Amino acid sequence: MARAVSSRRKWTFTILAWALAFLIFFPILWTILTSFKTEGDAAAIPPKFLFFDWTFENYGIVQERSNYFKFAMNSVILALGSTFFALIIAIPSAWGMAFSPGKRTKDLLMWMLSTKMMPPVGALIPIYLIFRDFGLLDTRGGLIAVLMLLNLPIIIWMLYTYFKEIPAEILEASRMDGASVWKELVYVLTPMAIPGIASTILLNVILAWNEAFWTLALTTKDAAPLPQFIASYSSPEGLFWAKLSAASTMAIAPILVLGWFAQKQLVRGLTFGAVK
Amino acid sequence: MGTISLKNVRKVFGDHVIIPGADLDIKNGEFVVFVGPSGCGKSTLLRMIAGLEDLTSGAIAIDGKDVSQAAPSERGLAMVFQSYALYPHMSVRNNIAFGLKMAGVPKAEIDSKVAKAAATLNLTDYLDRKPRQLSGGQRQRVAIGRAIVRQPQAFLFDEPLSNLDAALRVNMRVFIMQLHKDLSATMIYVTHDQVEAMTMADRIVVLNKGVIEQVGSPLELYNNPDSLFVAGFIGSPKMNFVTGSEAAKQKAHTIGIRPEHIDIVEGKGTWNGKIALAEHLGADSFLHVDADGAGRLVVRAPGEFRGKEGGAIALKPDMSRLHRFDDMGGVIR
Ligand SMILES: Nc1ncnc2c1ncn2[C@@H]1O[C@H](COP(=O)(O)OP(=O)(O)O)[C@@H](O)[C@H]1O
Ligand SMILES: [Mg+2]
């Protein structure tokens, strides 16, 4: 009897989980579907789900009208650049906090996280003015700095929780074995931390790739990444749902593919090392 | 070679004085055991010797050289941790070889040393496995292998057997003692288990709340404990303590007598009472006696003694084996 009940529960939860996953995925699915419709079908009421005239013309038009690769290139540079510099700062900081914590380490971590609770608009005007006065507007360097600072708290937190999982005694054992700080770092610490560092990189690339608020506010042309590319199709003059959707699909495709292949790493990363 | 000396070594964590000041001289080749209840500062003291923990003040010398400020890697010691602390991403072979690699030993020499250590430790068939594929006892042996290949000045063990089951623990205990004989190296061994301390040590250092209560050979501590604490900690079952009028008769605040130093007599004894409980171990039995005037006493009886629970019993302590303590817990000689 107990078996039957538990198997029924299992089914219920499985169906529920799939339903929820579908619900979450639906907007993306809808965007992708819409990108294959004509503008007429895209705006049709009632909406057409699968039975419409499938067409690739939106992709062609979008490709012709704007330089997708320039935006994509900027996105890649911003995502990788901000992640790279963030790691250079975050690895030593997290290392220090995990292995030789001070009295205020916990407070420091909380304080860093609290900066993520502030609405970004609050910092928009000062940062905009700083960018304007230092000639950083619409530069990749400026944007890399902002994206890095934006995600640094999360990165440090993630790495910190990963490093915390590494038993200090293993590092001490390597010290007893005669390893210098540098050798301890190369032969013992880093190999043990690689899964954690990898998921951190992955998550940060995704966050930076999708960042729209700051990229829309601080770029116009030269440094503009894919969110600008999408935004350029939401014009007030007319509704071009299909083209907007095609642009969006093109913008999210690379990160979607990356996410798909790195699912396992990502789940590990998002649970902040709670799952072994 | 492996002499270790501590001079007024002190450790403070924040506001907590963990080790108020320890002095100790360890001779070359000696097997010294730090024993004491959990939380008394044994690991802290060992880690200070290892260099993993800074000294608040005081000095440590190894082989006559002051190493108080030296990094762990400069002290020439090897340590076996309670958690084994193996490198999880390395094979058994590389775990054992790591210290030699760090020291820049040539590859051929590393291979032969690792092979020799593995043979001693019965690990030859496991050299290519990862630590997670080993049992607890095997991991323990890898940790020991990692220590012995380096031929250190001294070995430090921090409760190395406490994660093993009872049978394996006895085997490993004998193994470590044999290792000490074969290598004749200095070893410092930390444990909270007084049986381990008694069976393994050349000299025992009893710690209580960070203070070295007494240092001596197992028999010295057994026969002449300096304090109530040492008397109660060393020996199993524990020494009986009696306070009140019975102690006052001996001009002491507390008197102590071990279970094996109380005789069971016919007729009337010094203390008379009833057997409350009897533990029969075969070779002998331990009787828990409610004695008039002295309270609950544990008495060792030879195996053939057939006292029944609830039965009357008369006891006579061996007065030459009686320990007297003052109200501060110090011994009165
Ligand atoms: N890093 C530390 N910070 C603060 N207190 C510590 C630290 N390490 C140990 N202690 C304290 O020092 C005391 C002795 O610890 P330890 O040496 O591990 O005891 P033992 O090994 O005898 O069980 C304990 O009360 C412990 O809480
Ligand atoms: Mg300890």
Read off the CATH number of the domain in which B317 is found.
2.40.50.140
Residue with tokens 């190296």: B185
Would B79 be classed as within a structural domain? yes
Q: How far is CA B306 from CA A140, B207, B258, B286, in A?
A: 92, 39, 21, 11
Residues B216 and B79 in one domain: yes
Instruction: Convert the pLDDT of each residue in A148-169 to its tens digit.
Output: 999 999 999 999 998 888 888 9
Domain boundary among B209, B231, B253: B231
**Within this chain, do residues B312 and B215 fall inside the same structural domain, yes or no?**
no
- Domain membership of residue B321 as a residue range: 239-325
- Give pLDDT, residue A269: 58
Our CA-based measurement puts residue B170 at a distance from the nearest CA of chain A, in whole angstroms, of: 25
B50 neighbourhood in chain A, CB within 8 Å: 172, 176
Sketch out chain A's domains with CATH numbers: 66-232 (1.10.3720.10)
Q: Is some CB atom of chain A closer than 8 A to the CB atom of B103? A: yes
Q: Which amino acid type is present at position A10?
A: K
Mean pLDDT, chain A, whole residue set: 86
Q: Measure A169 CA to ligand 1 centroid, in angstroms.
A: 14
CB contact under 8 A, A176 and B78: yes
Nearest-CA distance A192 → chain B (Å): 7
Any atom of ligand 1 within 6 Å of the Cβ of B39: yes
Our answer on whether the CB atom of B13 is closer than 6 Å to any ligand 1 atom is yes
What is the model's pLDDT at position A268?
A: 63
Interface test with A, best of B62, B77, B80, B81 (most A CBs within 10 A): B81
Reduced to 3 states (helix: H, G, I; strand: E, B; else coil), residue B43 is helix
A181 shares contact with chain B (CB less than 8 Å): no
Region of residue B57 (phi > 0: left; psi between -120 and 50: alpha; otherwise: beta): beta
Q: Are both B127 and B185 inside the same structural domain?
A: yes
Q: Is the pLDDT of residue B103 over 60?
A: yes
Q: How far apart are CA B6 and CA B19, in angstroms?
A: 12
Residues B131 and B60 in one domain: yes
pLDDT of residue A264 exceeding 80: no
Which token pair is B236? 């199993």
Residues B249 and B217 occupy one common structural domain:
no
Decide: helix, strand or coil at residue B283: coil
> Is any Cβ of chain B less than 8 angstroms from the Cβ of A186?
no
The answer as to whether B273 is a domain residue is yes
Pairing of strands B186-191, B154-158: parallel
Indicate the average pLDDT of chain B: 94
Question: Given a cut of 50, is residue A125 above it in pLDDT?
Answer: yes
| Same-domain pairing of B158 and B198 | yes
**B305 part of a folded domain:** yes
Which residues make Cβ contacts (< 8 Å) with residue B295, sequence separation at least 6?
B242
* Residue B333 belongs to a domain: no
- Range from A1-5, A52-56, B241-245 carrying the lowest mean pLDDT: A1-5
User: Is residue B331 a part of any domain in this protein?
Assistant: no
- Residue B217 located in a structural domain: yes
Looking at the fold, whether B204 and B83 belong to one and the same domain comes out as yes
In whole angstroms, give the CA distance from residue B93 to residue A112.
43
pLDDT (tens digit, 9 = 90+) per residue, A184-195?
888 998 888 888
Q: Which two tokens stand for residue A187?
A: 């032969």
Reading phi first (left if > 0) and then psi (alpha if -120 to 50, else beta), residue A30 is in: alpha
pLDDT at B238: 94
Chain A residue numbers touching B102 (CB-CB < 8 A): 177-180, 183
Same domain, B141 and B225: yes
Q: Among B231, B263, B281, where does a domain finish?
A: B231
Contact, B234 vs B222, CB < 8 A?
yes
What is d(CA B28, CA A163) in angstroms, rounded to the nearest whole number? Answer: 39
**Ligand 1 lined by B256 (C-beta under 6 Å):** no
Residue B332 lies inside a defined structural domain of this protein = no
Q: In terms of domains, do B73 and B199 share one?
A: yes
Asked whether residue B163 falls in the same domain as residue B43, the answer is yes
- Tell me the per-residue pLDDT of A71-100, one tens digit each, with 9 for 90 and over: 999 999 999 999 999 999 998 899 889 988
Q: Could you say which of A176, A179, A191 has the minimum Cβ distance to residue B50?
A: A176
> Whole-angstrom Cα distance, residue B74 to residue B4?
14
Please indicate, yes or no, whether residues B218 and B120 belong to a single structural domain of this protein: yes
Binning pLDDT at 50, 70 and 90, where does residue A32 land?
very high
> Do both B8 and B107 map to the same domain?
yes
Count structural domains, chain B. Answer: 2
Residues B168-176: what's their mean pLDDT?
A: 93
CB B242 within 8 A of CB B248: no
Residues 6+ apart with CB under 8 A from A150: A82, A120, A211, A214
CATH number, domain with residue B212: 3.40.50.300
Q: Quote the pLDDT of residue A273.
A: 42
Which of B231, B266, B293 is the endpoint of a domain? B231
Tell me whether residues A169 and B83 touch, CB distance under 8 A: yes
